[in-house]
A = this chain, B = another copy of it.
Amino acid sequence: MRVALLGCGVVGSEVARLIVENGDDLAARVGRPLELAGIAVRRKRERPGLPVDPDLFTTDATGLVSRDDIDLVVEVIGGIEPARSLILAAMKNGASVVSANKALLAEDGATLFAAAQEHGVDLYYEAAVAGAIPILRPLRESLVGDQVQRVLGIVNGTTNFILSSMDETGAGFAEALDEATALGYAEADPTADVEGFDAAAKAAILASLAFHTRVPLGAVHREGITEVTAADVASAKAMGHVVKLLAIAELVDGAVAVRVHPAMIPREHPLASVRDAFNAVFVQSAAAGQLMFYGRGAGGAPTASAVLGDLVAVARHRTGGGLGPGESSYADLPVRPMGDTLTRYHVSLDVDDRPGVLAAVATAFARHGVSIQTVRQEGHADDAVLVLVTHTARDADLAATVEELRALEIVRDVSSVMRVEGV
């Protein structure tokens, strides 16, 4: 069983190492040995400590996937091209593919699934979402006889590290980002993480699997964490909540809503105790009820563990016959726009401390059909703050309410606005 590896960076080198070092175990589990047949890299260079034959390296990735002795291809290059062309060439050549490429799966999964089906090969991609955590296989296989209603995920380690740090130290976003960068948890250009692009790609993949439909990346509502302030985090804390960047996929009245944004969740929620760079995905389904999957969402070895699990699965299919589940997109569900999504808001207002303030504020909420669940006043005179949490309402109505509050004379500042989830 001959394996071509595309990419030999942080993840690829760990995949190569595991294939070699766990060779006997893998052979026993597959029924035949797995042999590294070639490793495509951008540049050949010394890779001290990596236990593979230097002759395996090639800069000709296209040539590698076209060789007629390749059974399985592992793609850990990332990005759209050349990854997509290489995967399609590999499939056309009869190879099954394991990929860790969330961007490509979210952007153009349909093309890959169609090619896999056309050529009768497997496409597995557990490592594309939440690194080492087995979440795609449970959604694709374990929960396939159940009906998933909602998925709430902490699927980006960088932002979870930053928000955990803000929660623990009271730091602001910029300071916490600096710490994350210094410790290697954030990249030099952190945009993809802190603006939620990474989480949005994963949300699209999770939603597609959970609801057996196709959710285009463009249908995912996305807000990052750059505007989360120390005041937001403190306000969450004051009501027993914690701020997390959540990827949320819901099925409501036959429509799918998928969104990524910071939200306050109660400290008792299983996701609240997911700290630092850990990831977790919380699933609510009709029969199983609440499930949570927790672990490392990134890093070479954790991601390689997920790749290897997939590699053994597709290798077993080659030796024993059969194929894994293909794309399960028979339910072509409509996507609900963010404005129509039902959410709850937490709002902190700096207000004048005089009679009639609450009445004016409450009237603004009422005018947009938004019910208030709790309200409390903190401080007095110049420090008077009104903290409100709403009941569930259309997101557009909540946003319109906040706009109206900003314009009220008695409201000096809207100091914190954030959605509340997991209640």
Contact = CB atoms under 8 A, between A and B. Distances in A.
Interface of A: 14, 18, 22, 25-26, 28-29, 126, 132-134, 137-138, 141-147, 212, 270, 273, 285-296, 299, 301-302, 304-309, 311-313, 316-317, 320-323, 325, 328, 330-331
B288 A295 contact: yes
A328 B29 contact: yes
Contacts of A306: 142, 288
A400 B375 CA distance: 60
A143 B310 CA distance: 9
A134 B142 contact: yes
12 contacts: A18-B146, A28-B212, A134-B138, A141-B312, A144-B312, A287-B304, A288-B295, A291-B294, A291-B295, A292-B294, A293-B293, A322-B323
Nearest to A275: B268
Q: How many copies does the complex hold?
A: 2
Nearest to A316: B325
Nearest to A309: B142
9 nearest A-B residue pairs (beta carbon): A322-B322, A145-B308, A134-B142, A132-B288, A288-B305, A287-B305, A291-B295, A292-B294, A134-B138
A273 B270 CA distance: 8
Contacts of A141: 134, 137, 309, 312-313
A310 B140 CA distance: 12
A145 B273 contact: no
Given A29-B144, A145-B308, 12 more contacts: A14-B287, A29-B212, A126-B142, A132-B289, A132-B291, A142-B306, A145-B312, A288-B305, A288-B306, A316-B325, A321-B322, A322-B323
Contacts of A331: 28
Given A145-B309, A322-B317, A295 B295 contact: no
A14 B321 CA distance: 32
Contact of A302 (B133, B288, B301): B288
A353 B133 CA distance: 52
Nearest to A143: B309
B146 A309 contact: yes
B270 A294 contact: yes
A126 B146 CA distance: 14
